[in-house]
Structure 1
Amino acid sequence: MSLFTHLLAVLFGMGSWVSINGLWVELPLIVPQIPEGWYLPSYLSVLIQMANVGPLFVTLMHRFQPGVLNEAAVVYAIIVLGAAASFLLGFFWKETVLIAGVPRSLALLVLTFFLAAVDCTSSVTFLPFMMRLQPQYLTTYFIGEGVSGLLPALVALIQGVGVVHCINTTQSLNHTLNASIGSGNGDLQAQYQPSNFSAEIFFFFLSAMMLVCLVSFLLLNHHPAVAREHPAPRYTNGTKETSERRTRAEQRPMMDPFRHQNHNPRSSFGSGSYSWMQVLYIFVVLAWVNALSNTVLPSVQSYSCLPYGNNAYHLSATLAAVANPLACFIAMFVSIRSLVFLGFLTVLGSAIGSYIMLAAALSPCPLLVNQTSGSAVIVLAWILFILSLSYVKVIIGMILRDEGHSALVWCGAVVQLGSLLGAVTMFPLVSVYAVFSAGDPCNTSCP
């Protein structure tokens, strides 16, 4: 294995979702300065789901016109588009135009759609591209994908986004922003603190990260050291085959001791190692865990954590972001591909997610709200939730990688489908019917 190639795989994977993840963590700084206000997250959710037209197009092309779509060209195009859109956001995110007499952040919404199209399409282009490298680099790619959420969060933490101080409402507010995140029935009011650097600089940082992704992709395609990591071809009985396919067949019993070994194809999917019922099971689990971890639970994270205080909210967001790449790192050394074990982890993660959802539903007075243990439990719940389901996603990615290029395309499509279904489910509950009530980090009226 090449450390250089591993580094490039991490940087390449980092570009998959860094733009949209960065936009989400910057919301507390953006929202007070645009006419949409806190309706913006709802608009973003809709735009991100509309952007699934990108992966839908790529998936249909692979299904009905295989080989026509130049995969590398698509990757180059979407990375450049992501870098350009992030760069333009630095100049135009505050610009408004009158639409039907109402000021709207048209530039912000349009550029966000392009960023969402880039990140959604990466699910069905970046993953299949990793088929060109040895299997171990796919896990490294997933680490990079996890870092795409962690890195913007850390930069936003340095920036001071979302830092709240509880002040007495009778005191001067000279050192706070005009926008507040809410006030309770008590004497304290939660106020955002000024950031250490502007949103413009943050968007330029996101653009730079996309350029880093572009450079890493160029090197993955053309650097001689990476070329040595490609599966080497050989000819057997006049038929060209790869050493990867040969060694995979030889090593599979050792790599996957839990899977039923059968030399006869059990289905026409991939290598035929799995029956159609097992394939359906794998994709259902994949859709479920992505729905929970990408859209369903993140949409209520503030409701589940803020009643325990602002520190609990920031700790849960930051440590959950760390748990994602940590799960990928663990999968590099402990790769358990048992479908039963994956089902167990999915049930465990779903149970923990149910507790988080219960806390959000009971907000602003969830369980243990006035106790120190309540903060510890909710933070630990978020860590274990992301850790368990991220491990499931990585292992399923490794399984589908062994089943071939087409399987990874469908993997990306199902990831986006699960996220879409989760967003469609949660959007009306959160934004239309207002089922959840926000907690106040400075005041509580709970007994």
Structure 2
Amino acid sequence: MSLLTHLLSCLFGLGSWVSINGLWVELPLLVPQIPEGWYLPSYLSVLIQMANVGPLFVTLMHRFRPGVLNEVAVVYAVIAVGTVASFLLGFFWKETVVVGGARRSVALLVLTFFLATVDCTSSVTFLPFMMRLQPRYLTSYFVGEGVSGLLPAVVALIQGVGVVRCINGTQLLNRTSNATTFDLQAQYQPPNFSAEEFFFFLSAMMLVCLLAFLLLNHHPSVARQNPSRSYTNGVKQEAQRGRKWAEQKPMMEPCGQRKPRSSFGSGSYSWLQVSYILGLLAWANALTNVVLPSVQSYSCLPYGNNAYHLSASLAAVSNPLACFIAMFLPNRSLVLLGVLTAAGSAVGGFIMAMAVLSPCPLLVHDSAGAVLIVSSWFLFVLLLSYVKVMIGLILRDEGHGALVCCGAVVQLGSLLGAAAMFPLVSVFGFFQSGDPCNTWCP
């Protein structure tokens, strides 16, 4: 195995979601300086889902005009747009324009739409490109994809984003007991470096992704690692080799009776199994990409600001950790993947319950509550990330079209999750946020 190819695959995967993940972790610094305020996260959710027009176009082209899109050229264009948009954000994110009699951050919203289009489209372009490399490098790509969430979080932590100091606010007098109390107020501390520099960092990460992609295409040692197959614009010309793990596939049919195989990919799975695999993938991505992240602050802030930041950091760490586990302990059993998905969903259900109970969840005044919520976030992301990686490996062996389908299902799951959560969070105000400095619960 080539360590260089593993490293380049990882750096290539880094560019998949680093821009949007970076924008999310920078929100506490952006929100006080723009007219949209804390409505910005809602706008971002809508923009990200609108950006699914990119993967929709690519998927339809692969379905109805296979071979027309030049896969390599599309990836170059996607990375270039992401690099330029991140760079321009460093200059224009605070600029406002009067729209409908009110000031709006038009530049920020437009550039965010381009970034979201880039990241969403990467699901149906980066993954199929990895079909050109040997299967073991796909896990390295998923490690990079996980790091695309971890790295911005670490940089934002160094920057000091979201660091809160509780100060004495309004002095209150309890007339019945003549006791004087103080209302603590959360005061965000100034960052160690500006948002402009953070956006330039994101642009640099996209340049690193571009360089990795260049080397994956042209470096001689990478070429020697490529399987002996030929591709034209991502369309496979040669039949796939036999798989060593074929005997490991679980028999879902009762009494070992073989069902007719489907026309999906190489035809190794029945349509029932294909539906099962894609259903798990859509469900896992809906939970990890949208549903639970949209209520993370509600589930964690009642336990304190430290619990919130620790849960976010460990959740970001657990994603690449799951990729490493999948690299050394792969298991393609569909039954096991279903069990892991059910376990991760149960943990996610607990997190959602704590968000619903906010600002007074279980054990809110006990340090055990903070430990429980942080551990839950870590385990939730770890379990479902492992499932996503293993499904990606399964679909990779089913062929190029299966990987395109994989990316489309990832975006579909995220879209359905956003459609379910946006009204609850942003329209009806179903959740109530906890105060990192004041928690009054019986």
How does the TM-score come out when normalised to structure 1?
A: 0.92
Which aligned pairs between 1:4-15 and structure 2 lie closer than 5 A?
4-15=4-15
In the alignment, what sits opposite 1:191?
Answer: 187
**Mapped partners of 2:324, 2:28: distance in 1:** 31
In the alignment, what sits opposite 1:251?
Answer: 244
Matched, 1:302 2:302: no
The one of 419, 424, 430 equivalent to 1:429 is: 424
Q: How much identity, in percent, do the aligned residues show? A: 76
Q: Secondary structure at the match of 1:344?
A: helix
Q: Is the 8 A contact 1:74 1:125 kept in 2?
A: yes
Post-superposition shift, 1:415? Answer: 0.1
Residues 125-166 of structure 1 deviation map (CA, whole Å, 9 limit, x = unaligned): 000000000000000000000000000000000000000111
In the alignment, what sits opposite 1:177?
Answer: none
Q: Is the 8 A contact 2:82 2:118 kept in 1?
A: yes
Which aligned pairs between 1:20-419 and structure 2 lie closer than 5 A?
20-169=20-169, 187-233=183-229, 241=238, 245-246=240-241, 249-253=242-246, 256=248, 258=250, 266-419=261-414
The verdict on how the C-alpha distance between 1:330 and 1:262 changes in structure 2, with shifts beyond 3 A counting, is farther
How many correspondences in the alignment?
A: 425
Moved over 2 A (4+): 256-265
- Matching residue's letter, 1:338: S
Q: Which runs of 5+ in 1 are unaligned?
A: 172-184, 235-239
Q: Is the 8 A contact 1:349 1:384 kept in 2?
A: yes
Q: Is the 8 A contact 1:14 1:147 kept in 2?
A: yes
Post-superposition shift, 1:265? Answer: 6.6
In the alignment, what sits opposite 2:176?
Answer: none
**Mapped partners of 2:348, 2:81: distance in 1:** 35
- Matching residue's letter, 2:319: N
Q: Is the 8 A contact 2:168 2:182 kept in 1?
A: no
The verdict on how the C-alpha distance between 1:56 and 1:380 changes in structure 2, with shifts beyond 3 A counting, is same
**Mapped partners of 1:43, 1:443: distance in 2:** 28
In the alignment, what sits opposite 1:2?
Answer: 2
In the alignment, what sits opposite 1:180?
Answer: none
Q: Is the 8 A contact 2:303 2:364 kept in 1?
A: yes
Residues 234-284 of structure 1 deviation map (CA, whole Å, 9 limit, x = unaligned): 9xxxxx747xx32xx151246x35467999971111111100011011111
Q: Secondary structure at the match of 1:74?
A: helix
Q: Which runs of 5+ in 2 are unaligned?
A: 172-180, 231-236
**Mapped partners of 1:5, 1:233: distance in 2:** 18
Q: Is the 8 A contact 1:259 1:338 kept in 2?
A: no
How does the TM-score come out when normalised to structure 2?
A: 0.93
- Matching residue's letter, 2:160: G
Q: Is the 8 A contact 1:265 1:272 kept in 2?
A: no
The verdict on how the C-alpha distance between 1:211 and 1:265 changes in structure 2, with shifts beyond 3 A counting, is farther
**Mapped partners of 2:69, 2:215: distance in 1:** 21
- Matching residue's letter, 1:95: E
Q: Is the 8 A contact 1:8 1:220 kept in 2?
A: yes
Q: Is the 8 A contact 1:262 1:273 kept in 2?
A: no
**Mapped partners of 1:152, 1:437: distance in 2:** 27
Post-superposition shift, 1:364? Answer: 0.2
RMSD of aligned residue pairs (Cα, Å): 1.8
Q: Secondary structure at the match of 1:446?
A: coil
The verdict on how the C-alpha distance between 1:250 and 1:358 changes in structure 2, with shifts beyond 3 A counting, is closer
Q: Is the 8 A contact 1:49 1:420 kept in 2?
A: yes
Q: Secondary structure at the match of 2:269?
A: coil
